[in-house]
Amino acid sequence: MAETEQKTKKPAAKKPVDLTKLSIEELFEGLNQTIQKMDDSSVSLEETFQLYELGMKAVKEAGSRIDEVEKKIRILDGEEEA
């Protein structure tokens, strides 16, 4: 029975997420949830690695989005000064 329970848990953890469609706020909320899941002692090492990978992808996506916003702000600041 325990084996069946583990099999039903895994698909939920592997649910694909399109990070490009999430807002910056949603990315950070997802990161917070990922960190909480990783802190859970009942999560297997394999699941922890999967969560880590997802978290790193979210960090990169959020960083990229923040860079884009920063560029837009610099452009607007430059236009206002000109």
For residue 49, how many other CB atoms are within 10 A of its CB? 11
The pTM of the full predicted model, rounded to 2 decimals, is 0.70
Q: Can you tell me the distance from the alpha carbon of 4 to that of 7, in angstroms, rounded to the nearest whole number? A: 5
Write down the number of H helices and E strands in the chain: 3, 0
Q: What is the dihedral of CA 65, 33, 40, 64, to 10 degrees?
A: 0
Q: Which two tokens stand for residue 62?
A: 């959020």
Higher pLDDT, residue 36 or 14: 36
Which residue is listed with tokens 């960190």?
35
If you average pLDDT over residues 13-31, what whole number do you get?
A: 86
Share of the chain above pLDDT 70, in %: 78
